[in-house]
Structure formats: structure tokens, C-alpha cells
Structure 1
Amino acid sequence: MKTPWIMLLAGLGCAGLAQAQTTITVATVNNPDMVTMQKMTKAFNEAHPDIKVNYVTLAENELRQKITTDISSGGGQYDVITVSNYETPIWAKNGWLKAMDHLPESYRVDDLIPSVRQGLSYEGKPYALPFYAESSMTYYRKDLFEKAGIEMPDQPTWSQIEEFAQKVHDPKNGVYGICLRGLPGWGENMALFSTMVNSFGGRWFNEQWEPQLTSQEWKNAANAYKTMLTQYGPPGSTSNGFTESETLFANGQCGMWVDSTVAAGYLSNPDNSKVSDQVGFARAPHEKTEAGSSWLYAWALAVPESADHPEAAQTFVDWATSADYIQSVADQYGWLSVPPGTRESTYESQGYQDVAPFAGLVEKAIQSADPEHPTADPVPYTGIQFISIPQFQAIGTRVGQIMAGILSGQTSVDQGLDQAQAFTERLMRRADVAK
């Protein structure tokens, strides 16, 4: 009769251990690098058996909406949130994020690329740690360019990009001249389109915070964007964000694609890409000016003030953004699968250099992007593909919807930009940002 009691006591002991385990909820985006992070979680669990990780994985626009609602209300639904260099300083100022200024020496803060670290700081303190960082660049099919008898410059103009798109456009054989983001969202189509506006010499606001969305520069950029996607792009472009466009290019359906540098490793990996041996790389296009023609963006991990388990959450963030994590991904999946753009040691690694012919181009793009001087003419804001004010999330979202309407033929360029200007003027008057 003793054995059942022994078993019962053992069972109660196991139950006590199970109860001692802390469960953290991580809200993240459904990009390939974050999918890899989830696959790597077994290694984290082995090192930290007392912490269980529960992921909530969402599309980019939905993620932003849900975490913004939760953190602004102090809901405490998430212990770790995936944020960018847009939200981080604004939310830190609001007191919504925990500072990350007591990192262990082994974390090697000085190894983080300075422009990326600065973008995730407020008043000199980091409030998020970068998981991956990016600028923008031009991808193209070398085989299609050779067939068409054309050559991609190191830094093309948008006018050249449009000309090239026409020459490689072959929809009968399933190849479209160019793929660009058309999915509405301040971090989707407007990330790309804002850099187009910058490169055409435009800006969101003048120095008096007066919107400039009906300027000739905006019209020129919008007409070029519309022409390329409606004449040489894939059907249904307004449904294509980063992830969809990356898949199209990897499947061999795009002659060119202008987008995030983070896709370079994915497109060069034969496990993911049907055209891995034919991918060419060039700098992001400019037109009248190079100022603001390529963006600077970081997907980072932060711990909300409202997190239920902040210590366990910080442990996870330290692990997922460390140099050791990058090396572990390289060991398990190869250097082309590591999250790029965050650490100088990644670009110093011989293993990475051996498989990533784009490494130098990407590192230079990230380091040279200048959010303090994003346009040819002076502006009162910082940020390249976004503006570092809380109101931009609403402005960018609405203008992104209008740009999608222009692509789908619901409105003309002039009518759409008139609507965008009026909306922005109304919102800025209510916000009184100039004060």
C-alpha cells in the first residue's frame, strides 16, 4: 500500500515544479527571421527550463494595432513585444517601456551598430534591443537583365528602374517587371513610398509643420509609383506587403524588387529561393536627390511596463538579440539565415562574408542612412520612411489607404493627394504639433 503514496507524493512534487515555471507571452511578426526565432526556442528552453515561451504571431499591420492598443491601455497582455525604431522613443517617453540599461557585460552593447542602437534609445538609454535591422536596396534578376541587354547601375534612378521594368516585363511567362509594396499601412506601402517622395525631392512637412502632400514632388513620385505597379507589376499589388513580395521574387516572378535589405539572405538561399543564383544587388534608387532614398528600420524586442513577468521577459530578450544567438542560428541553419543588421561582429565574420556577397552593401546602407537629415529641403522632424511623432501612425495609415486607392483606380493621383493633404491638415490642427 506504500507505493501509491510514494507515487502520489512524487506527482505532487512534479506539479509543484510545473507551477513554478513562468510563462511569458511574446508578440511578434510573421517574418522569416521571427519564424526562425521560434524554431530556436528549444535552445532557450534548455538553458532556462523555468521559463516557457508562448508566441502570438501576427501580420505586420495587425501586430502594430494590437500591441499599440495593449500598451497604451496598460493591458499587460504581452511580456515581450516586437517594436521598431518608430515606436520605441515615443513609447519610452510615455513611460510605457522598461529601460534596458543594466545589461550584462557579456551582452556586448558596443557591438551593436551605432545608428541602430541610437534609434532604439531615449535620453541616452536603450528601451528595446534590435532583433534585426535593415535599410532598403534594389534586387534584380541578373539572367533577365542579361537577356534584355541591360545593366543595373550601382545606384539606379527611379526613372531607370521604370525603364528596366518595361524591358523585363513578361507576364505571359509569369514574370512581372517589378514588385513593390502596395499593401496599405504606414509600415507597409508608405515605408517604400516615403523614400520615393524623399528621393524625388519631396517632404511630408515644411519647417512650419505645414503638410506638403500636394507638391509637385509628391505628384511625380505618386505617378511613377502608379505607372510601375499598374503597368509592370503583378496583379493585385494592393495585397502585397513585404512578405508577399519576398515570396513573389523568390518564386521567380519579379524582374526587380525594391525593399528591405533583410531579404538578401533569404533570396540568396537555395532552400528558399528558386532564383538564388541569379539575384543581383544594387543600392536603393534615387531620383533628384540621394537624401532619404533608403530607409533605416529595426525590428526590436521590448518589455512593456505592464508586463506580468518582466525579469523572465528580459532574459528572453537578452538571449534572442545576443551575438551568441546569431552564432547559434549560423551553426544550425547557415549564415544566410542569421538576423542581419544589428551587430558589427556579424559583418566581421568570415563565415558571413563567404556566403553573403551583399554584406558590404547592406552594412554601408544601414550605417549611412541619416534620420536626422531625411530630405533635400529642411524639415522639423526626424525619420526617413516615417516621422517621429505619435500622429504619424494615423497619418501614414490613412495616406497608405489612399495610395492603395490610387493603384486600384478608385481615385486619380491628384484627387488622392488632395484627400491625403486635407486629412493630414485636419489631424495636425487637432494635435497642434507646431507648439
Structure 2
Amino acid sequence: MKKRGISVALSFILLVALVFTGCGGAQQQEPTNTPSVSPSTSASPSEEPALSGEIVVSTLAGDPFQSSWRTLFDKFEENTGVKVILDAVPWENLREKQALELASGTGSYDVVYVHPFWFGEFTDNGYLMPITDYCDQATIDKFIPGLLDLYNRDGKVYGLPDWIATQILGYRTDLFEEAGLEAPKTWDDILNAAEKLANGDQMYGITFAGRKGGALAGIFCTTLLSNGSWLMDENGNPTMDTKEAIETTEFLAKLSKYAPPGYQNFHWDENAAVANSNKAAMIMLMTTNAAWLDDPGRSQTVGLWDFVAINNKTGGGMVDSYCWSVTKSTKNKDAAAELVKFMADTESQIFLTEKCGTSGATKAYYENQELIKTHPELGAMNQAFANSKPNPAWNTWASEQEVLETNLQMVFDGKMSASEAMAQVQAKMLENKK
């Protein structure tokens, strides 16, 4: 197991905290249209590439992301003449599809949208191109350094991030006010509210994404952080059989009793759909989903939500992110590189915030005070970043996550004790560490 995540986590927490608390510069105007693009944004005129041809981009499927990316791709096409073909597949199949295509070495993908879960695998196999092959220092300096470090292997960065996200708690302000409840500040507050506000199949106390494949692990990791612990200690030793990990499992098991039927099949889309249909008093969700709750086109509960960090001993949040990467096998490097820089740039990130609720990864993004005021989930993110860790990106995490999520579901179903479940995860992590 790689230990580099520890130092990365610390640097990221400090840097993001500084960005949130210290950015008080001039406000930027929020874009009303899609951002413009110029191939010269990262190269001198003499180095400006002549763009042509087409590129194929691999991303996850599903709106609002897919349609918003398509809008940006269309703008890129309009400004550069490069045709962008979007190959979008469901999240749970994205890694497998990308791995198969990249292993072939045929150059079928020019740009890939990579998650930390499989980023290490792709760099170890030589599938991705270092950003220094196509970014100058001025472009690199736009980004929060700690976030770039998530995509660093052996001193080289292999992708540009265009969002950050974490899991937070949304609660119905109208229902809480009617019941005389304050915003949840502890696990006990969450459990008490879930019990008090649950009303059969008319209103579930809470909804959360309980599906295997990353969503459930994310909920667990953020909740574990809020209990003052993490997957491993500062020396890289697994800590999954600790009192804190067992308590976290038991808490989620109690909370699951107030969740809708079928929640173990919910990913983030299905999870938000329950809240949008006026069926949940609270929701554990990704910050990227918060905008869905305030979208009149999909929600019956517009304007009725506020957000806080999941909190017990401390606020906590597992930082999730993606990166746009140019593939090593691309046959159109210049065009692929310009698209990556365009998608990760501040203007594109602000556009995606308005359309998708994603959060930016550049320093300038957090100078837009008006944007922060209109997106209350950013305040909850700030609380969560007081005690955050990056999404696990070590190469053995996929197998460890499988054991974790399988065991969590078994605990929720009453088929395994929390202590036994965590002992098995601990054993798997120790086995992989050898």
C-alpha cells in the first residue's frame, strides 16, 4: 500500500482551508454564457498549435454533467474547428471501459476523465501523458497545489482537475422548523431528526446512496472522518478495526432503518430523486448533487434545503475529484491538450457550477464571492474541509472497497456484526500491505 496519501492529504487540507478563508480579492462576474476558448491561453504565439481533426473523450454518463460537457465541447468545436466525440458510459462501467480501450494502445481515446480510484492503475500502466508535456508553468500555477498533488506520481502530474466534491448532509428547513429542530450538529442530532420526521412511506427520515461501487464507501469514509478517524494512521497502518470505525458502521446501520426501500441500489442520481420527490427529511449527498435539489425542472422541494458538514466529533469530508488527462496513445495531442486545459479552466468550472453544482479546482474560482453566496453547499464544504482526506487512490483500494461495501450492506441487513465487518476489512488491508 502506498503511503504518499498522508502527506498529500495534509497539504491539501491546509491549502484548501487557506483558499476558502483567505480569498478576498476582487469579485468576478458570473458567466451568463459558455466560456470562450483560445488555443493560445497556454502557449506563446510561436508555439501555438494548429488544431484540426477530431478527438474522442471518455467520460461518465448522466445529466446534468453529460449535457453540460457537451455544451462546452460544442463551444470548443466552434472556436477551434476540432470535432469532439463524446463516449459516455455509466460510472460503474467507466474504469473497465477506459482500461480496455487504453490497454489496446490503438489511440481510440484522446482524453479520459479519470477518478482517483483507478488513476494509479492508469499511471502505472503508462496510459496517461504528464501535464508538463502540454502545460506551461503559468497554467499549472492556476490550480490549488494540493489538489494537483492528488494526480502526482513519482514527481509528475498526469491530469488537470476541474472540480472538487465531498459528502455533506442536506436537511429540510421547513420540516425542521415545524418540528422545532435545529440544524444537525452531531450523529445523535441526525438520528433523532430521522426518527422524529419519519412518517412511513410518506416521508423517510433520511436517504443516502447505499450502492456498492464507490458511493457507499464515500459515505462511510466521510462519516468516519467526522468521528475523528480514518482508514489508516499517519504511518500507513490500517485502522479499520478501531473503536471509531466500528462506531461509524453501527451509526450508519441505525440510520439505514430510516432510509427508503431499495436504498442499497441507490447511486447519487436515485438518492437525489427521493429528496426531490418530497420523500426525505434529510439526505447524505455529494456536493455536486446539491444543485439538483434546487432545480425546478427536477425537484418539488426547491428552496427548502440547507446544508451542513456531517459532524460528530468534528466536521469531516472525503475529498472527491476527477481529472482530465491526455492519453499517451492519442493521435491528436495538440487538440487533446487544449481541450483538457479548456475544461479545467476557471470559466468552464464556474459554468459547470451553475449547471451541475460541481466545485472548482483553481485559485481564481474561490475569488468569485458572488458564486459562493449563491451556493450554500460551498459553506458546508468549508466546514468539511476542517478535517478532510483525499479520496483513496492507492492501487489496492478497489479490492478493499469491495470488502468494505459488501460488509456494510451485510451489517445493514443484520447479517453481520459491525466488529466482524471491520475486522475483515482490516485483514484485507493488512494482506494487501504485505
In 2 relative to 1, CA 369–243 (structure 1 residues): closer, same or farther, beyond 3 Å?
farther
| Structure-1-length-normalised TM-score | 0.77
Change (3 A) 1:35 1:226: farther
Any gaps of 5 or more consecutive residues in structure 2?
Answer: 1-51
Quick one: structure 1 residues 259 and 357, their matched pair in 2 at CA, closer, same or farther if it must change by over 3 Å?
closer
Contact 1:336 1:356 in 2 (8 A): no
SS at match of 1:232: coil
Residue 416 of structure 1 aligns with which residue?
Answer: 421
Deviation at 1:78, TM superposition (A): 2.2
Question: How far is 1:370 from its partner?
Answer: 4.4
1:358-369 alignment runs, 5 A limit? 358-363=377-382, 365-366=384-385, 368=386
The counterpart of 2:329, out of the listed 306, 312, 329, is 306
Query: Which residue matches 1:405?
Result: 410
Deviation (angstroms), 1:237: 1.3
Q: Offset of 1:363 from its aligned partner?
A: 4.9
Unaligned runs of 5+ in 1: 1-19, 372-382
Which letter maps to 1:253?
K
CA distance in 2, matches of 1:403, 1:339: 28
Is the CA contact 2:317–2:387 (under 8 Å) kept in the aligned structure 1?
yes
User: 1:166 aligned to 2:199?
Assistant: no
For 1:320, the equivalent position in structure 2 comes to 343
Partner secondary structure for residue 209 of structure 2: coil
- Residues 250, 275 of structure 1: 8 Å contact kept: yes
Report what 1:149 is aligned to. Answer: 180
Q: CA deviation at 1:55?
A: 1.9
Structure 2 residue 366 is matched with structure 1 residue 340: no
Question: Which amino acid counterpart does residue 64 of structure 1 have in structure 2?
Answer: R
Equivalent residue of 2:212, what SS? coil
d(CA) in 1 for partners of 2:378 and 2:299?
18
1:176 pairs with 2:204:
yes
Which whole-Å CA distance do the structure 1 matches of 2:312 and 2:101 have between them?
Answer: 38
Q: How does 1:274-313 map to 2 (within 5 A)?
A: 274-287=300-313, 289-290=314-315, 293-313=316-336
Mapping of residues 197-276 of structure 1, within 5 Å: 197-205=224-232, 211-229=238-256, 231-276=257-302
Q: Could you tell me how far 1:236 is from its partner in structure 2?
A: 0.9
Aligned twin of 1:24: 56
Identity of aligned residues (%): 22
Deviation at 1:35, TM superposition (A): 3.2
Per the alignment, residue 44 of structure 1 pairs with 76
* Contact 1:27/1:78 (8 A) holds in 2: no
Deviation at 1:98, TM superposition (A): 0.5
Cα distance in structure 1, aligned partners of 2:357 and 2:419: 43
**TM-score when scaled to structure 2?**
0.78
* Aligned length, in residue pairs: 383
| Bigger-Rg structure (1/2) | 1
- Tell me how far apart the structure 2 counterparts of residues 117 and 54 of structure 1 sit (CA, whole Å): 26
Q: Cα deviations across residues 119-143 of structure 1 (Å, max 9, x unaligned)?
A: 2333554311112211332211001
2:103, 2:431 → 1: CA distance?
23
1:103 to 1:251, Cα distance in 2 relative to 1, 3 A:
farther
Match of 1:4 in 2: none
Deviations 1:86-135 (A, max 9, x none): 54466435533111125567974433233322323335543111122113
